[in-house]
Amino acid sequence: DTAVSQTPKYLVTQMGNDKSIKCEQNLGHDTMYWYKQDSKKFLKIMFSYNNKELIINETVPNRFSPKSPDKAHLNLHINSLELGDSAVYFCASSPRNGLGAQHFGDGTRLSIL
């Protein structure tokens, strides 16, 4: 059973489009995250939610809007995609807010044409 699953795995789209990535965890964790990994492998946190409440918003453009309908799900919607949004987006979860090992999904590879 996959602990943290995100869909889609690959996303290729045109500049200016709107797209969504979904994430679900079955670990019973309270906290979920979105990370962006650029082409140089630098891994940077974007958002975190604890029990559906937004905890961290790391100066991400407001074209990115996370939503957590319940503590097992955290989705990411991106409006007006730009070339610089091309990256791998990872969802992760951890047992308590910021503490403990983080469990990552397989990533969504977003390519903007």
Instruction: Tell me the chain's radius of gyration from C-alpha atoms.
Output: 13
- Please say which residue, 3 or 15, places its beta carbon nearer to another protein: 3
47 pairs with which residues across the strands?
34, 57
For position 98 contacting another protein by CB under 8 A, the verdict is: yes
C-beta of 73: minimal distance to another protein in Å?
18
44 contacts another protein (rule: CB under 8 A): yes
Helix (H) or strand (E) holding 47: strand 43-50
Q: Tell me: does residue 86 bind another protein (CB under 8 A).
A: no
> Six-digit token pair at 104?
């990552």
Binding segment (CB under 8 A) for another protein, from list 12-20, 21-29, 36-44, 78-86:
36-44
Of residues 21, 60, 102, 110, which one binds another protein by CB under 8 A? 102
- Residue 42's CB is within 10 A of a number of other CB atoms, namely 9
- On whether the CB atoms of residues 79 and 18 are closer than 8 A, the answer is yes
Binding region for another protein (CB under 8 A):
40-45, 48, 50, 55-56, 90, 92, 97-107
